[in-house]
Structure 1
Amino acid sequence: MFNNLCNAPPTASTNQDKLARYLAAPTEAVGDVIAWWFKNRKMYPCLSHMALDYLSIPATSVDIERVFSHGRLLLPHVCNRLTAQMTCALMCLSNRSRLGFIEDDDVLAIASLLEVPEDEGAKEGDVLMPEGWDTILVEQE
């Protein structure tokens, strides 16, 4: 969301100077915060961009339990053997799959992995995952 805030990457001291200038400015009573940031976008270009992104997120009247109930659909209410890491990975996979970020070939490759031998303490259906299986790779342009 905050990618490409400024065209040229400023130095750390420049950003700190702009932030210090904003924080040192006298406060003023404002009725419309979004309009204030829009009006002052030239004075604080990076801060205003970030503030406008943050402040323009729509509020929701949806019950918070409903928003986060996807985990309950993934996990049974009692007795499951999934680790927190696996639960997180499955929830991310589900969302990214619906958005088209997951390739079918990758899912098939994981599905074809061998099960962990039971003599290693595994239970039926456990799959041996390769090192780094849960690493999310982000391509940079």
Structure 2
Amino acid sequence: VIPMIDALHAGLESVAADPKKHRTVRHAAQRGIAALNKYYSLTDESHVAHFALLLHPTFKTDYMRDQEWQDDWIEEALFLLRSKWKAQYAPRNQAPCNAPPESNTEKLYDFDRYRKQKRTTTATSDTIDQLESYLSQDSFYVDDPLAYWNDKRSSGTWPELAQMALDYLTIPATSVDVERTFSYGRQTVSLYRHSLSSQSIRASIVFGNRCKEGLVNDDELVALLREKGSR
């Protein structure tokens, strides 16, 4: 959301400052800038846009610094991200297994102590905080962040962090799609179809959306309807 608003803002500023453009066009660009500033300020009221920016491998804090964000803004965004990560997503330490009873015989030297210490150290290093590992890496171009994080989750690399990233990156940037779905549902449940069950309404809306996206095979649909009709 934020990079898109910044890109639109830069484009409108270019139009507004271009003396070759008609005065009406430049004035319209100024109005557009005012509208963008209004909605940009709303991103400060929610952490969602900042989290999505930080969890996108292409942007992270590098984008914030490139856009000359103040240091305290960046630190606050990171603090909120870390707080949410620790409170809701970070893996919890498993309960320790019951240790076998120690022998009453005092050992002069525990030959396994060094190996136990190394094993504990290795286990700790394997569970280094996923978020900190991700943030410590340089940003790099990713065309599809959802595919990137899905791959991380399926491969077992940063699985909890991947889930957090997917939760925030899949939040709709606007309510347009949601409102469109409600409108489609209202058309489905007309004045003469109030007797439809909730299951039928849900199935009808989902099926309609899949048809629009081209996810329904026409031949398979015809075969299925014929099969049901012959019963």
Q: Which bracket does the TM-score occupy, shorter chain normalised? A: 0.3 to 0.5
Query: RCO higher in 1 or 2 (8 Å CA, sep ≥ 6)?
Result: 2
- Structure number with higher helix proportion: 2
TM-score w.r.t. length of structure 2 = 0.30
TM-score w.r.t. length of structure 1 = 0.44
Q: Which has the larger radius of gyration?
A: 2
